[in-house]
Structure 1
């Protein structure tokens, strides 16, 4: 099961990032997607991104540094707390986010067409249930 999940993730990422490169985003990598996928137009604090992604704040900070250097995000003062910074997507970042979402939706439609809408919906529901059960397992 783990091997299949890993193979699926790699295949999805391969197609997504190939298509993003073709559409003007050749520098973005899978690790960047872990932050960009959780950014809205108003941005978020690094601590919020860390919580959403399940990654350590230091890792998120490194990814944000890379994305800022590539022109996908910028850091701005948080209007609710001047001591904090918000990670806000630039226009280039918003373009990548929109294109990534459209590509992912296209991929989902293709798989739903291939399996049939009912089978694909049942697959996603079962897959999500397995993920939840694994996350919520009793370690004892």
Structure 2
């Protein structure tokens, strides 16, 4: 089935995926600049990909690997780095002393809170710049795109 006539050029400009990548890159750069200002300059983008997935009560490495789509070895390396940075700790699982639970330390919780606050600040700036209704509409469209996958 072919697209309706004119559908391919209905919205001029660069491809939306390119714009979305630009938004992600800019937001990440702003986040990490502000995180550095607050004493978390040692945290990197790749850390956030695992950091944000850790449950409040802690998570198993295998669960983090499943959620992130990263191999257990890759997740283990990032956990090791975050452990060295004082953001995570490994503790025995209550139901299986051989297994380990990865959980946030006080520094890790502070970093997670700082990141959430900074991302909220960035979004509030968008509301001021572009208007609340437009940001809400953007959110709805993006949530719809993400929920399709």
Residue 111 (structure 1) aligns with: 126
Residue 107 (structure 2) aligns with: 92
- In the TM superposition, residue 113 of structure 1 has moved relative to its aligned partner by 2.3
**Distance in 2 of aligned mates of 1:82 and 1:93:** 23
- In the TM superposition, residue 48 of structure 1 has moved relative to its aligned partner by 1.6
Superposition RMSD on alpha carbons, in Å? 1.4
Please tell me whether residue 51 in structure 1 is matched to residue 66 in structure 2: yes
With the length of structure 1 as denominator, give the TM-score of the two structures.
Answer: 0.88
Q: Which runs of 5+ in 1 are unaligned?
A: 136-140
- In the TM superposition, residue 116 of structure 1 has moved relative to its aligned partner by 1.6
Equivalences for 1:1-140 in 2 at 5 Å?
A: 1-133=16-148, 135=149
Aligned length: 134
- 1:21 and 1:27 in contact (8 A); partners too: yes
**Distance in 2 of aligned mates of 1:111 and 1:57:** 37
Per-residue displacement from partner, 1:33-78 (whole Å, max 9, x unpaired)? Answer: 1111122432111122122223222221111011011111011111
More helix by share: 1
Q: Which moved more, 1:43-52 or 1:119-128?
A: 43-52
With the length of structure 2 as denominator, give the TM-score of the two structures.
Answer: 0.83
Per-residue displacement from partner, 1:110-130 (whole Å, max 9, x unpaired)? Answer: 112222212111101101222
Task: Give the SS at the match of 2:39.
Answer: coil
- 1:41 and 1:94 in contact (8 A); partners too: no
**Distance in 1 of aligned mates of 2:56 and 2:134:** 34
Q: Which moved more, 1:8-17 or 1:81-90?
A: 81-90
Task: Give the SS at the match of 1:75.
Answer: strand
Per-residue displacement from partner, 1:7-54 (whole Å, max 9, x unpaired)? Answer: 111111100011001001110000001111122432111122122223
- In the TM superposition, residue 102 of structure 1 has moved relative to its aligned partner by 0.6
